[in-house]
Amino acid sequence: GDSVTQMEGPVTLSEEAFLTINCTYTATGYPSLFWYVQYPGEGLQLLLKATKADDKGSNKGFEATYRKETTSFHLEKGSVQVSDSAVYFCALSTGNQFYFGTGTSLTVIP
Amino acid sequence: NAGVTQTPKFRILKIGQSMTLQCTQDMNHNYMYWYRQDPGMGLKLIYYSVGAGITDKGEVPNGYNVSRSTTEDFPLRLELAAPSQTSVYFCASSWDSTYNEQFFGPGTRLTVL
């Protein structure tokens, strides 16, 4: 069945470090891919998305490229800030359902 | 627009009690979803709906029931609460199931003792 596998956490980085969170997927057909962010005590919010192969989603300095050949959608940011500390979820959508990864907790220290 | 609202924010139940988690969206979305999130885990889909009067099971439906009498509301019913249902419950809605994002409510934290 359809599924998402993302990098285990937690991840701790110093401010201004480079961030990569890996995400790979298994899906029949042509899924849309998403990154969501969850701040403490809140629901998930969309960070970025890509709906077809080679699309790049970007928002708030975060980027991810939909790679069909490697079935991946890795999240990157060139310089993280303390305010980026949160849990990040990779997700895919095909048909009527969304499938979420288990989440990667990121802590950025000053 | 309020977006997706959920009530209550917190609840403690005793084993065997029942309750309804309320979810309302004001974006006229056809699709609505209920998820549970256990500590350190991802989201598991409980039930979803593709429109008023239409619901279907997700990955973990046992012990729950839903109804969708209007576009706006999608309540989740817990019958005979069990400790395994201790979790944070999120409701979400979207325009469609494939291309557009889901909008999430703030969650309900439920503890069953």
Encode pLDDT of B96-113 as tens digits.
Answer: 776 678 899 999 999 999
Q: Do A98 and B33 touch (CB under 8 A)?
A: yes
Q: Do B97 and A101 touch (CB under 8 A)?
A: no
Q: Which residues make Cβ contacts (< 8 Å) with residue B62, sequence separation at least 6?
A: none
Q: Looking at the partner chain, which of B40, B41, B102 has a beta carbon nearest the beta carbon of A98? A: B102
Q: Residues A90-98: what's their mean pLDDT? A: 83
Residue A97 has pLDDT above 80, yes or no: no
Give residue B98's pLDDT. 67
Give residue B53's pLDDT. 94
Name the residue of chain B whose CA is nearest to A30's CA.
Answer: B98
Q: Which residues of B37-49 are buried (b: 16+ CB within 10 A; e: fewer)?
A: beeeebbebbbbb
Assess A43–B contact: CB distance below 8 Å, yes or no.
yes
**B10 — pLDDT class (breaks 50, 70, 90):** very high
Question: What is the distance between the alpha carbons of residues B27 and B104, in angstroms, rounded to a whole number?
Answer: 12
Give residue A7's pLDDT. 84
Give residue B40's pLDDT. 74
Question: What is the distance between the alpha carbons of residues B73 and B76, in angstroms, rounded to a whole number?
Answer: 10
User: Which of A44, A46, A55 would best serve as a mutation to test chain B binding (most B beta carbons within 10 A)?
Assistant: A44
Q: Residues B55-64: what's their mean pLDDT? A: 94
B21-50: pLDDT as tens digits = 999 999 999 999 999 998 877 889 999 999
For residue B39, give both structure tokens. Answer: 């500590």
Assess B71–A contact: CB distance below 8 Å, yes or no.
no
| CA distances (Å), origin A66, targets A14, A29, A37 | 27, 14, 18
Q: Residues A81-97: what's their mean pLDDT? A: 90
Bridge partners of A93? A32, A98
Question: What is the distance between the alpha carbons of residues B44 and B38, in angstroms, rounded to a whole number?
Answer: 9
**B76 — pLDDT class (breaks 50, 70, 90):** very high
Q: Looking at the partner chain, which of A42, A45, A101 has a beta carbon nearest the beta carbon of B42? A: A101
Assess A44–B contact: CB distance below 8 Å, yes or no.
yes
**A19 — pLDDT class (breaks 50, 70, 90):** very high
Residue A42 has pLDDT above 90, yes or no: no
